[in-house]
Amino acid sequence: MNCVALPRMSSKTHSSNNIAHARRTVQQLKIEASIERIKVSKASADLMNYCSEHARNDPLLMGIPTSDNPFKDKKPCTIL
């Protein structure tokens, strides 16, 4: 479970504020702890699949041939 550090409480804070704050923190932690989780093996497999399925649509990964590069410096004459 992920642990969240509780913020420091000033000793001058009224004790009922402390309790209310601590209750809200515990409530939030309970919500976060109760979510459904999948296995990391499945999650990693899905990430790898996503990358391989989309690799060919990734110009930065595959490289861009100079002729198709929209950012290259324009020559003075272009053939329309």
Q: Is 79 in the site for another protein (CB under 8 A)?
A: no
Least spacing, CB of residue 9 vs another protein, in Å: 12
Distance separating alpha carbons of residues 65 and 79, to the nearest angstrom: 19
Q: Is 28 in the site for another protein (CB under 8 A)?
A: yes
Binding residues among 34-63 for another protein as defined by CB under 8 A: 35, 37-40, 42-44, 46-48, 50-51, 54-55, 57-61
> Quick check: 31 and 1 in contact, CB under 8 A?
no
> Quick check: 56 and 62 in contact, CB under 8 A?
yes
Measured in degrees and rounded to the nearest 5, phi and psi for residue 11 equal -70, -15
Q: Which residues bind another protein (CB under 8 A)?
A: 2-5, 7, 28, 31-32, 35, 37-40, 42-44, 46-48, 50-51, 54-55, 57-61, 64, 69-71, 74
